Structure 1
Amino acid sequence: RDLLLDSGAAAVEILPLGFARSTFHFAGVPGVAASVHDLSGMKIATSFSGLVAKHLAENGVIPGGIVHLDGAVETSLRLGVAEVIADVVETGSTLAALGLTIIGAPIMKSEAVVIRPAVAGAAEEAELRFLRRLKGVLIARKYVLMDYDIRDEHLARAISLTPGLESPTVSPLHREGWTAVRSMVPADQAQNIMDQLEAAGARAILITRIHGCRT
């Protein structure tokens, strides 16, 4: 997303992919500025000149100059090339180690995205098919398939823990009084759900990865 917006290319974002996430901030030595509106007249070093210029213009800020640098832009402050930088910030620990602090709100949040030309071409049907397949992979990464056996008297409790996307699959077991359940559950909650199912009396709890899913 950041590369797309920085380039000014005639393209549009059509699908965020949920990885390679980053946040862009202004940063500088403590006390140099508190918000984007304090940056008027200051020199700003960045690897994303177009993105920064657009953000400043949207906030009515006229900088003293935007210095385009590739690589470690924080060195520009020590060299006196700029007074403020605009760069990717994750935890802020790197900035703190350099004696720098974040200025104001994020410039933007970015991640890997799918783009296409601003004017859609003739391959629209192929594009939609491609996007459906990509979305199927993204959904599959967020969920796992959970199977378990549960006594009939505890079935309602177990299903409340694993409602699935639509509804879980419930099948009677050969062993009387027991039921097998299969359901999609959020991958980041799977271990916690397993603990709760075990406490509810579930047995033979299995987790299987999903490689693709259409909803």
Structure 2
Amino acid sequence: MLRVAVPNKGTLSEPASEILSEAGYRRRTDSKDLTVIDRANQVEFFFLRPKDIAIYVGSGQLDFGITGRDLVLDSDAPVRERLALGFGSSSFRYAGPAGLDWTTADLAGKRIATAYPNLVRKDLADRGIEATVIRLDGAVEISVQLGVADAIADVVGSGRTLSLHDLVAFGEPLCDSEAVLIERAAADRDGAQQAARDQLVARIQGVVFGQQYLMLDYDCPRSVLDKATSITPGLESPTIAPLADPDWVAIRALVPRRGVNEIMDELAAIGAKAILASDIRFCRF
């Protein structure tokens, strides 16, 4: 039976559970449940703190886990990323007092508060910067105001929280994060267990793909077929079918959800008609 870790709370928890449900796995019915056994699919789910998941997976106690890329990097656990899941996007940035116009070089000799000390220390070492890293478990933004730190390193979304504490992000992101599916770096690749692992990855990948792509159907003059297929090449190749009018063809192709309106505009501009975009729930490759 596969053992899979899922975030028990926070912004990653509900989207992770939703993806697993769409992939055909059993959901927990009580938020207090720490484990759920899906006997039909031979998977046991463990609901753990997002920050601990990479450590459990890296130790070999669990086969897979869903958590944030930033948390994986900070854990320094021996795991590898199998899939990016397309939710929970954020940037991990340095931030300092507004008006100082700092760069990362200005961190030399400073005190930096963060809940991700390993990630910050590695970044500073890569940059050749010596600074004091102060570990805090949360609300690091207040540390500068209280005089505990000169700057912070934290997950930044809209930047609203930074503004409330008169802080501003600077420098390039330490990492761009999102929810990821991870497994142990030295995972066993043998027999039936590997088939079960591949099936779980394929199911989740199919759901994520369905969230990121649309199916586009349209009618196209045969005279502009080459232009149309260059606009919508699909994954391998678009499906092209003849219509009753020999001068027209029907085309079906997968297109990225992001930017689909621009694609439809391009098709309309070359004379395509009846352009229809349809949702995909899940698929297999």
TM-score range, shorter chain: 0.7 to 0.9
**Structure 2 residue 123 is the aligned partner of structure 1 residue 55:** yes
Query: Looking at CA atoms only, which structure, 1 or 2, has the larger radius of gyration?
Result: 1
After superposition, give the CA deviation of every residue in 1:109-135 in whole Å (9 maximum; x if it has no partner).
Answer: 211111112321353332223223333
**Structure 2 residue 172 is the aligned partner of structure 1 residue 102:** no
Contact 1:33-1:103 within 8 A present in 2 as well: yes
Cα offset, 1:96, TM superposition? 4.3
**Structure 1 residue runs without a partner (length 5+):** none
Alignment of 1:154-169 (within 5 A): 154-169=224-239
Higher relative contact order (CA 8 A, sep 6+): 1
Residue 279 of structure 2, aligned match among 196, 209, 213:
209
Contact 1:146-1:185 within 8 A present in 2 as well: yes
Cα offset, 1:101, TM superposition? 2.7
Instruction: Among all aligned residue pairs of Structure 1 and Structure 2, give the percentage whose two residues are the same amino acid.
Output: 44
Contact 2:117-2:133 within 8 A present in 1 as well: no
**Structure 2 residue runs without a partner (length 5+):** 1-68
2:179 match = 112
Q: Name the SS for the 1:188 alignment partner.
A: coil
Q: Structure 1 residues 153 and 100 mapped into 2: Cα distance closer, same or farther (>3 Å)? A: same
Q: Name the SS for the 2:262 alignment partner.
A: helix
Letter in 2 for 1:27: A
CA distance in 1, matches of 2:184, 2:126: 24
Instruction: Choose 88-97 or 175-184, whichever is displaced more.
Output: 88-97
TM-score between both structures, scaled by the size of structure 2: 0.65
Deviating runs (4+, > 6 A) in structure 1?
none
CA RMSD between the two structures? 2.5
Residue 39 of structure 1, aligned match among 107, 120, 127:
107
CA distance in 2, matches of 1:206, 1:40: 56
Cα offset, 1:93, TM superposition? 5.2
Cα offset, 1:85, TM superposition? 0.9
Contact 1:45-1:69 within 8 A present in 2 as well: no
Count how many residue pairs are aligned between Structure 1 and Structure 2: 213
CA distance in 1, matches of 2:201, 2:273: 38
